[in-house]
Amino acid sequence: MGFWTLPAGFMELGESVEEGAAREAREEACAELELETLLGLYSIPRIGQVQIFFRARLINDPAPGPESLEVGLFGWDEIPWPELAFPTVKWALDHYRETEGRDGFPPFGNPPGTEKLTRAS
């Protein structure tokens, strides 16, 4: 059994952040999105990454793409929290929940107290 994550990946040359997010969602979950706003920008120096998450509206029924074994939509109480692949997925989900129904908020960064998860020992 694998772990759950949100669609994610690396940008291609000449691609905007928004285009990359939409492409990764299509590749991994056959998902067509309407991006709404930047949700979070998380710095993970130990692996040399900056992870960018958007709030988006799903406009079709997702299905496993060529890069995924399984795709699922979960209600908040059904999210398999212990099976999330990365801390940043939990952060993004928590920040999404915090901003649900709100517009015009600044993007989130790394939550306080998460330094051990992001820096090399």
Q: Can you list the domains of the chain with their CATH numbers?
A: 17-118 (3.90.79.10)
pLDDT at position 2 is: 82
Residues paired with residue 34 on neighbouring β-strands, in sequence order: 57
107-to-6, 14, 61, 93 alpha-carbon distances in Å: 18, 24, 27, 13
pLDDT in tens, 2-41: 899 999 999 999 999 999 999 999 999 999 999 999 999 9
pLDDT in tens, 47-63: 999 999 999 999 999 99
Distance CA(101)–CA(22), nearest Å, equals 22
Distance CA(74)–CA(58), nearest Å, equals 13
Token pair belonging to 88: 């940043």
pLDDT in tens, 74-102: 999 999 999 999 999 999 999 999 999 99
**pLDDT > 90? residue 116:** no
Q: For residues 95 and 40, is the Cβ–Cβ distance under 8 A? A: yes
Prediction pTM value: 0.90
